[in-house]
Amino acid sequence: MSRTFTPKVVTANALLEGDAVWLTAADTWTRDMGEAELIEDPGHAELRLLHAQGETETVVGAYLADAKAGPTGPVPTHFREAFRTRGPSNYAHGKQEGA
């Protein structure tokens, strides 16, 4: 029995900075998961992942991550992805710098 497909986003790490990034519908990378393309078709998800994996001068480690629709765009459904949206755990830099 095959597993039911759940919505996905394409995520990776920016090659130079190492930040978590997400692929948008406009083929750009964003550091805000809420701007990512939420993919609800398994075939389209595989095509988007292949596209991302070909951007070797921009990102590394591209993969599909589970997500769901939120009030302002995709939101993570797994703690690993929620952690990645907050940036490095070191408060001296990254997305948590102001905390």
Residues 20-73: tens digit of each pLDDT:
999 999 999 999 999 999 999 999 999 999 999 999 999 999 999 999 999 999
Per-residue pLDDT, 67: 98
Domain ranges of the chain: 8-88
Beta bridge partners of 29: 23
| H-state helical runs in the chain | 42-53, 79-85
Q: Give the pLDDT band of residue 87 (cuts 50, 70, 90).
A: confident
Per-residue pLDDT, 10: 98
Per-residue pLDDT, 93: 55
The secondary structure element, H or E, covering residue 30 is strand 29-30
Q: What's the CA gap between 71 and 79, in Å, rounded?
A: 19
